[in-house]
Amino acid sequence: MTTFDVSSAAELQSILASAKAGDVISLSAGDYGDVTIKGKNFAQDVTITSADPAHEASFHSLNVQSSSGLDFSGVTVNLVPTASTVSFSAAVKIANSSDITFSGGHVNSGAAITGVAATATKLDGTGNVIGMDTARGVDIEGSSNVTVKGVEIDHLYKGVTIGSSTGVTVSDNNIHDVRTSTIDAAADNNLVIDGNTMSNSHPWNTGNGDHADFIHIWTDPSLQTGASNNIQITNNTMSQGDGVAPLGIYLDDNAHGLGFTNVTIQGNVILNGAGQGVRLENTSQAVVDNNTLLQTSGTPKNAPGIIVADGSHDVDVSGNVTSYASNSLTGVLATANIHDNTIVQAADPTAAGYYSSAVLNQVETLTSTTGAEQYVLANVGVQPIAAAFVMVQGDVNGAGMDDFGIKPMAVFSLHPSEFIF
């Protein structure tokens, strides 16, 4: 293993041309501009890192194509928007590559300088809104065994986007202040989203323009012929913060008949004011357990809950703290086994399951998801009772909701007589 000291983009390219497996390229502080790495393949990772962690090397953009065995550690990618920057530009692009790691450091962009005005009624081809954040943070396409870990990702159109890839891990990142969604993925397998913190989405023209989710994963018949398989969404904290209330975790089959298999959604905390906290469509062999969903804004009908829809089966929903959990009865019936959840609400201090703003504030201060569920359970007016929940579930399954397949309600207790519509 050899360590090379580098101080310019030209030197970086020169060293990469002769580097051997296991080498380290140590970058002096400075701006390396737009860097493309193409066709560089190593059996053991070549590490590209900042020489001084207190003064990270910085790129304007980083584009990795048809390469393998690269580890970027502790570098900054600051995509300063220009007239050519569009919403689907990427600060970090990883395409048709494998065994790539991007860890530590910072990825960000800023306000678009081209596009439509904020007062416009529709977008143009750039997808930009002048004065609002643009570009994707980390865009992964057609790749395998890619890890994005411990990175601050902010002030972008979208945080992390993943398409037609397998073995991607997105973990322990802080993704915040995006225009739309923090994590988007389409036609992916063996996907792990774990331990991330996501907050502060600021869409343009909400309702008529941008759409935002914390985690949106969908199927695409132009990219896949079967179900998306092996999806793990665990231990993430999703908080509305000072932004709007995006949808929470959405596995979106959109009637494609492809669906999702072998799914784990576990130990997440969703602090939000959107009724769709977790929604699964055409999902099988899945567990949704020990998640905590609390309301931060909106009216009672906006309290986040769990919806299982579109023919989903062999799904276990249990041990969650949520305002509701239900099989949708619209479309193809879902048959999830929903049991032993604790139903909570923030609307009526005299009703069962009530939690105060003090409980919410405490959960918001937690630096990890560990202990969130236990804290809420210890500070609400009801503990989980399986039999009582079965009584509620019978009523809820027949309720049907305006937007999500069940009747719009924000909260209800363990007793049907105490539903709050």
pLDDT digits (tens, 9 = 90+) for 67-122: 999 999 999 999 999 999 999 999 999 999 999 999 999 999 999 999 999 999 99
Closest Cα partner for 414 from 350, 331, 352?
352
Domain spans of the chain? 37-418
Distance CA 259, CA 252 (A): 8
CATH second-level architecture of 37-418?
Answer: 3 Solenoid (2.160)
Strand partners, 247: 213
**Interstrand relation of 237-239 and 90-95 (parallel, antiparallel or unpaired):** unpaired
Identify which has the larger pLDDT, 421 or 187: 187
Percent of the chain past pLDDT 90, that is, above it, reads 85
Query: What local confidence, expressed as pLDDT, does residue 289 receive?
Result: 97
Percentage of the chain surpassing pLDDT 70? 90
With contact defined as beta carbons under 8 Å apart, do 143 and 170 qualify?
Answer: no
As to burial, measured by CB atoms within 10 angstroms (0-12 exposed, 13-18 middle, 19+ buried), residue 131 is: middle
Q: How crowded is residue 391: how many other Cβ atoms within 10 Å of its Cβ?
A: 13
pLDDT band at 159 (very low <50, low <70, confident <90, very high): very high
Residue 416 pLDDT grade (very low, low, confident, very high; cuts 50, 70, 90)? very low
Give yes or no for residue 385 having a pLDDT over 60.
Answer: no
Span 192-212, pLDDT tens digits: 999 999 999 999 998 789 989
The whole-number pLDDT of residue 414 equals: 31
Exposed / middle / buried, residue 155 (Cβ in 10 Å: 0-12, 13-18, 19+): buried
- In sequence order, the 6+-apart residues with CB closer than 8 A to the CB of 351 are 345, 381, 413, 418, 420
Tell me the average pLDDT across 327-334. 90
Closest CA to 30 of 56, 51, 52, 4: 56
**Residue 125 has what pLDDT?**
96
DSSP letters for 189-208: BSEEEES-EEEEE--SSTTT
Rounded CA separation 28/12 (Å):
11
Q: What is the largest CA-CA distance in the chain?
A: 73
- 3-state SS assignment for residue 153: strand
Note whether 325 and 305 are within 8 A (CB): yes
pLDDT, the chain, mean:
90
What's the whole-model pTM score?
0.91
pLDDT for residue 419 is more than 50: no
Residue 166 has pLDDT above 90, yes or no: yes
pLDDT digits (tens, 9 = 90+) for 19-56: 999 999 999 999 999 999 999 999 999 999 999 999 99
